[in-house]
Amino acid sequence: MNLKRLAGLDILSEKYAYAYDPQAGYVAASRVADQWVPTTCGYCSVGCGMLVGVKDGRAVAVRGNQLHAVNRGKLCPKGLSEHHTLDAPGRARHPLLRKGGRLERVTWEEALGAMTERIGAIQARYGDGALGVISTGQLTTEEFYTLGKLVQLGFGTNNYDGNTTLCMASAVSGYKRSFGSDGPPGCYDDLARADVILLIGANIADNHPILCQRLLENPNATLIVADPRVTKTAMMSDVYLPLRPRSDIALLNGIAHILIRDGLFDRDYVERHTTGFDELKEFAAGWPPERVAEITGLEEELIERVAMLYGRAKAAFIGWTMGVNHSTQGTETVNAINNLALLTGHIGRAGASPFSITGQCNAMGTREAGFASSLPGYRKFENPADREELAALWKVAPERIPSQRGLAYPDIIEAALGKRIRALWIIATNPMVSFPNHEVLKQALETLEFLVVQDGFHPTPTSELADLVLPAAIWGEKEGTYTNSERRVSKVNGVVDPPGEARPDFDIFLDLAGRLGEREELFPGWQTPRDAFEEWRRVSAGRMCDYSGMTWEAIEESGGLQWGGERLYEDGHFATSDGKAKLFCVDWQPFPEQPSRDYPFILNTGRTVEHWHTRTKTGVVPILDGMSPRAWLEMNPRDARRLGLKPHDRVSVVSARSRVDAVELRVTEIVGPGQVFMPFHFVETNSNCVTQSAYDPISREPNFKQSAVKVIKTEAADSGVNRWKI
Ligand code: SF4
């Protein structure tokens, strides 16, 4: 080829040839697919339907599925390039076992034999609870269901959680406290049907971009965005509330105050469907607009206006994401949001919902079936009837079902540090980048006697530390279902085989169950994920997340089915013992790490549209990496001037714990004076080196935001301090 080119005979005509594809029209000939396979995006919880083009056994293109109810043919940059993750460099291909300090290639037989043997020895010595398991929101529901059973009944430990606790545990806990059960009450269509939309700490333009389509379908709605940062979503708003960091509870209490003061609440709904109104009325009286203005930094008139808009709306929607959840008061903030919906009856009707937009493609699946924060089917650990029902369905003794939840993710890490957890199995997540206060996490992982990392990619900063690496299939290589934020169950299909010896997580779980001697009891006759789905249909029957009427075929044909229908709580009956939702009095507290003389800035962290979590996937897709190759720090021009810093300077962000060096400075009004912002995706400049170990006492979700930091110019000698070394 090179010779031909040198001789002027090859002008890359083959490479640049185009041809006609019946799905896509004229495209590069190399991307004309032999077949298009329908599936669901494996990144975020929006749950877009897509078609993957396959040519000669390779995925060569992705297109939005025009017929899918969620995205109607559109995809964001991540979805559009998702097929590139399948044959990207850095895929885990072979099991690796640490021998003499080095990870060496071994057979599956040796790998899984070593895993059960080492974990068995540790459990025999220190008890079953010495094994901790941290999973993800990236597996299929069939895999979550299988894994939960395997971990809790097979390995006999309840110290099991997912990285979903880093993301939306506060929404789960908040829903449970207010409504008696987890489960987002509304749907995406509510965004198109509300007349007032309030987004709190939710930058959907970057993080859930396809949802913006629903906003565009509803040009007459008033969009209110509350965010300390002028995000892309804030730029779309009709009313922007630049509230001070973590003052949202004060704002929500202030709105409740005005609604009650001016009689803008639905007395009939409150009386029939809620408890706690008298207490809330008395409590909210203490939140007049002047007090709210003082805490939030917002004008009193603006607070009054927003309360009027919400209170007078025919149908009002409140959406939130990490700006609410990533907080030591995340659960309570969700309760304060739910208060507004309950006071006004803006729930269970078209356009009216308090709606948590979840994070990962199947975070909902692990909530429904995963056996981590609740028993499968939103059954409660502490409810004997729930345990007995489940035991009967599984034909096991009720005593085998744990009567309480085990350690949550941060507590598993702390227990590893304290040597109460000795073995840890991490599945499809990368805590070395995603967990707060990196130094503590690193120390905890290094303290373990045995660390197993099961992932589609290797090396990752976490798999580097493993004693055993299990190569797993990823999106596009396996079959099952995902549930999106609006409770829509969509089908996921394999389009290519996993690379090398990598196996679907489902197969790995069944193999391990066999080695534990539990396969026939826990998974009788199971061979494929469809067997797990069929059992899950029976186990979820009659529960809120009832799959009993669904089949894989019906899900596929319909483009996704919502459990619970379009909306929950349409009849005003809630999942509490008295059928009524609870109103909560939520006191505002200042965030835990206040800025000081030494650390004068408040660091906010977040995401950008091009990347996904820790970039394990998007970092290896050249087009995404090229669009956003490195982290940056946003700083207000006033602060930059005061510090003598210029755009593109390399700066160090330093907290009381550690530092991140050589971050590119962006001088911008997007952040207010005294605040700085940094994306959390980048291992090379890991924002979690400076974040803190502070957690919501109810949900255990970390307070990733509002860390006190100082910013200094990076000296040449400091640059590269946080480089990830392979
Ligand atoms: S919005 Fe989310 S689900 Fe849709 S294509 Fe983008 S990453 Fe995938």
The confidence score (pLDDT) of residue 164 equals: 86
Name the residue of 39, 45, 63, 75 to mutate for ligand 1: max ligand atoms within 8 A of Cβ. Answer: 75
Across the range 44-61, mean pLDDT stands at 95
β-pair partners for 666: 634
Q: Whose CA is nearest to atom 6 of ligand 1?
A: 76
Per-residue pLDDT of 588-630, as tens digits, reads 999 999 999 999 999 999 998 889 888 888 888 899 999 999 9
433 Cβ inside 6 Å of ligand 1 = no
In 620-629, which positions are buried (b, 16+ CB within 10 angstroms) versus exposed (e)? Answer: bbeebeeebe
User: What's residue 723's pLDDT?
Assistant: 43
pLDDT digits (tens, 9 = 90+) for 104-124: 999 999 999 999 999 999 999
Question: What is the predicted pLDDT for the residue at 22?
Answer: 79
User: For residue 361, which atom of ligand 1 is closest to its CA?
Assistant: 3
Which pair of structure tokens corresponds to residue 63? 């297109």
Confidence of residue 716 (pLDDT cuts 50, 70, 90): low
How remote is the CA of residue 46 from the centroid of ligand 1, in Å?
6
Instruction: For residue 100, give every residue at least 6 positions away whose Cβ sits within 8 Å of its Cβ, in sequence order, or none.
Output: none
Is the pLDDT score of 721 beyond 60?
A: no
Determine whether the shortest distance from the Cβ of 44 to ligand 1 is under 6 A.
Answer: yes
How confident is the model over 366-392, as a mean pLDDT? 93
3-state class (DSSP) for residue 388: helix
What are the structure tokens assigned to 329, written together?
Answer: 């008061």
pLDDT tens sequence across 410-423: 999 999 999 999 99
Instruction: For residue 724, give the DSSP letter.
Output: P
Long-range contacts of 508-516 (CB under 8 A, 24+ apart): 508/112, 508/454, 508/470, 508/472, 509/143, 509/146, 509/147, 509/150, 510/146, 511/108, 511/112, 512/112, 512/115, 512/116, 512/150, 512/154, 513/150, 513/154, 515/112, 515/113, 515/116, 516/116, 516/154, 516/155
Examine the pLDDT at 355 and tell me if it is beyond 90: yes
Measured CA angle at 57 (ends 56, 61), to 5 deg = 85
Average pLDDT of 675-692? 94
Q: At 465, list the tokens.
A: 């530390």
Alpha helix segments (H runs only) across 217-321? 232-235, 248-261, 267-273, 277-284, 289-296, 300-312
* pLDDT (mean) for 137-150: 96
Q: Is the CB of 48 under 6 A from ligand 1?
A: yes
C-alpha to C-alpha distance for 354 and 340, rounded to whole angstroms: 9
Q: Residue 196 pLDDT more than 60?
A: yes
Is residue 41 lining ligand 1, measured as CB closer than 6 Å? yes
pLDDT of 724 reads 43
pLDDT for the residue 584: 98
pTM for this model (two decimals): 0.94
Residue written as tokens 């037989």?
A: 109
Residue environment code for 138-159, b if the CB has 16+ CB neighbours within 10 A, otherwise e: bbbbbbbbbbbbbbbbbbbbbb
Determine the Cα–Cα distance for residues 509 and 73; give it in Å rounded to an integer: 35
**Which atom of ligand 1 has the smallest separation from the CA of 77?**
6
Query: Residue 127's pLDDT is what?
Result: 98
- Nearest-CA residue for ligand 1 atom 2 is 44
CB count, 10 Å around CB of 287? Answer: 24
Task: Say if residue 714's pLDDT is above 60.
Answer: yes
Summarize the confidence of residues 489-507 as an average pLDDT: 97
Mean pLDDT of 353-361: 93
Number of C-beta neighbours around residue 592 at 10 A: 17
- In ligand 1, the atom with minimum distance to the C-alpha of 47 is 3
Sequence-distant contacts of 621-624: CB under 8 A, at least 24 apart: 621/81, 621/84, 621/85, 621/88, 622/84, 623/77, 623/81, 623/84, 624/77, 624/78, 624/81
What does the pLDDT read at residue 717?
55
pLDDT digits (tens, 9 = 90+) for 646-666: 999 999 999 999 999 999 999
User: To test the ligand 1 pocket, which listed residue (41, 81, 362) has its Cβ within 8 A of the most ligand atoms?
Assistant: 41
User: Do the Cβ atoms of 129 and 157 come closer than 8 Å?
Assistant: yes
Q: Which two tokens stand for residue 315?
A: 């149908």
Residue whose CB lies within 8 A of the most ligand 1 atoms, among 40, 45, 76, for a mutation test: 76
Phi (first) and psi of residue 21, to 5 degrees: -115, 130
User: What is the average pLDDT score of the chain?
Assistant: 94
- Residue 718 binned pLDDT confidence (cut-offs 50, 70, 90): low
**Residue 720 reports pLDDT greater than 80:** no
Per-residue pLDDT of 560-589, as tens digits, reads 999 999 999 999 999 999 999 999 999 999
The pLDDT assigned to 146 comes to 98
Hey, is 311 helix, strand or coil? helix
397: number of Cβ within 10 Å = 8
Which residue puts its alpha carbon closest to atom 4 of ligand 1? Answer: 48
Q: Can you say how many angstroms the Cα of residue 326 is from the centroid of all Cα atoms in its chain?
A: 11
Q: Report pLDDT digits (tens) over 258-307.
A: 999 999 999 999 999 999 999 999 999 999 999 999 999 999 999 999 99
Burial (CB count within 10 angstroms: exposed 0-12, middle 13-18, buried 19+), residue 706: buried
Mean pLDDT over 25-42 rounds to: 90
Mutation test of ligand 1: which of 40, 46, 65 has the most ligand atoms closer than 8 Å to its C-beta? 46
Please state, for a pLDDT cut of 70, what percent of the chain lies above it.
98
Ligand 1 in contact with 488 (CB < 6 A)? no
The closest-lying atom of ligand 1 relative to the alpha carbon of residue 46 is 3
**What pLDDT sits at residue 277?**
98
Q: How confident is the model at residue 1 (pLDDT cuts 50, 70, 90)?
A: low
Q: How far is CA 320 from the centre of its chain?
A: 13
* Ramachandran assignment for 698, one of left (phi > 0), alpha (psi -120 to 50 degrees), beta (any other): alpha
| Cα 357 to middle of ligand 1, angstroms | 13
